[in-house]
Chains A and B, each alone.
Chain A
Amino acid sequence: METTRRGFLAAAGAAAGQEGANAQKRGHDHDHGHQAVPSDPALRVKALESLLVEKGLVDRAALDALVDSYEHKIGPRNGARVVAKAWVDPAYKQRLLTDATAAIAELGYRGEQGEYMVVVENTPKVHNLIVCTLCSCYPWPVLGLPPVWYKSAPYRSRSVIDPRGVLHEFGLDLAEDVEVRVWDSTAEIRYLVLPERPAGSENLSEEALAAMVTRDSMIGVAKAVLSEGSRA
């Protein structure tokens, strides 16, 4: 037992490296690629958890609660409610654009990786895009944890130098007279895009509007559109 555990932890770097290489070989084959979890990082993390629990430094139920928070409670539905409220309530929108942290907290969303929020508004002539070139900073209270592509080298390297090319790959082609503003989250400020309210949505309730706001439209790689309710 002792020897086996020693193996898990000592092989840390090499095992994780192999995992990354495998992930690259798998490429875009996501449907099953991510499910084939290499055993080494899994065993290594399990050993770390056992050790820290044994030492009284962490509590298993607290770990479960942390995971559950981001799997089931904190996600892009929060941000969608913020956006929908801003669309139907001009006074709220004003507060959101003036002091996003406070306005978002009005809906109960605050804290971890959203301690200081700024909301940037898309208009027919201005399109905003959020990135973190140095790391993977992202507004957790309103969007949850970031998708893999947001944390990936292609997105982080290209968004600042070729935002229109990146948007094109997401199926969004902007007219030349639209100004693109890229927000590189290098400091402690976290950004959320307020997408344009789509034409034809005038009669929808706040709740129905929230249901159609996608995560991608709040990062700025997509627009909010009426038919997109089922997408991420």
Chain B
Amino acid sequence: MNGIHDMGGMHGMGQVEPEKNEPVFHARWESRIFALRRAMRPWSKFKGKANRHQIELIPPAEQLSLSYYAKHATAFSKLLAESGLVTASELSSGRRARGSTKASPPLKADQVAAFLDRGAPATRSVAVTPQFHVGQNVRARNINPLGHTRLPRYARGKAGSIVSDHGVFIFPDTNVADLGEKPQHVYSVRFSARELWGEHASPRDSVYIDMWDDYLEPA
């Protein structure tokens, strides 16, 4: 979706402001929402893959005003409600409904290190024919999907070249929408700064964007 999260190339956002001696979390609740989201991942009904899209769906003005973890807290509540693991009345009361079954077992502390080491790989070892090859000139398709996509607006319609083939990955556009993993090749595509931003840009500089087969067409 053409949301406010898709920020590449926007003006007016101000200066970058690094913080000295920044802590990992600025408050306990930030660390707890961070951990809650990960701890829920083993439940197959919890659709963690839609977390980013839930954040994208927060109205633009609100999205800009929320801190990173506040956005995640909002998305997390929505995902919980959609999972069916927690009922709407439980979410509004904050208490387990009488008679509801207790789930078990949850992720345990002694499983956390292995859980993090495993991660959640998006690669798929299936044979998929690549549509493009290294060195090929390509163009990012001009598409404007309403759902989740990883094709940033600033690259759409722009010409670049394939630098490397990363292999086969789940396609988020369909996966997040529950339309299947549709595994396909992802390439590193180089776009010159001038192609993206015009003649004022440095002739030497470039932006490398990772793109799935479905985002590209031959140029």
Taking Cβ atoms with an 8 Å cutoff, the residues of A that contact B are 2, 5-6, 8-10, 12-13, 16-17, 19-21, 23-24, 27-28, 30, 34-35, 37, 41-42, 44-52, 54-59, 61-67, 69-71, 74-75, 110-116, 118, 133-136, 144-145, 147-149, 151-161, 163-164, 166, 169-170, 176-189, 232
Contact = CB atoms under 8 A, between A and B. Distances in A.
Contacts of A166: 16
A148 B24 contact: no
A145 B72 CA distance: 14
Interface string B53-88: 000000000101111111101101100100001100
Contacts of B90: 51, 55
Contacts of A232: 20-22
A160 B6 contact: no
Would you list the 9 A-B pairs with minimal beta carbon distance, nearest first? A5-B94, A133-B8, A187-B210, A34-B26, A16-B70, A111-B119, A20-B65, A66-B35, A61-B109
Interface of B: 5-11, 13-29, 31-36, 38-40, 43, 52, 62, 64-71, 73-74, 76-77, 80, 85-86, 90-96, 100, 102-113, 116-123, 150-152, 154, 166, 169-170, 186, 188, 193, 196-197, 201-202, 204-212
B85 A189 contact: no
Given A51-B91, A161-B8, A163-B205, A69 B113 contact: yes
B16 A135 contact: no
Nearest to A60: B109
B21 to A, nearest CB: 7
A49 B106 CA distance: 13
A218 to B, nearest CB: 15
A34 B106 CA distance: 32
Contacts of A154: 13-17
A185 B92 CA distance: 37
Contacts of B123: 115-116, 188
A185 B14 CA distance: 22
23 contacts: A2-B95, A8-B94, A10-B92, A12-B74, A17-B66, A20-B64, A51-B96, A57-B86, A59-B107, A59-B108, A63-B32, A65-B113, A71-B25, A112-B119, A112-B120, A148-B19, A153-B10, A160-B8, A160-B154, A161-B9, A164-B205, A182-B206, A185-B210
Nearest to A58: B39
The listed residue with most A CB atoms (<10 A of its CB), out of B80, B107, B188, B207, is B207
Contact of A71 (B24, B103, B209): B24
Contacts of B39: 58-59, 62-63, 66
A187 B150 contact: yes
Contacts of B15: 154, 169
A83 B69 CA distance: 30
Residue of B70, B105, B169, B205 ringed by the most chain A CB atoms within 10 A: B70
Nearest to A50: B94
A45 B120 contact: no
Given A30-B17, A66-B34, 4 more contacts: A20-B67, A62-B107, A66-B38, A67-B35
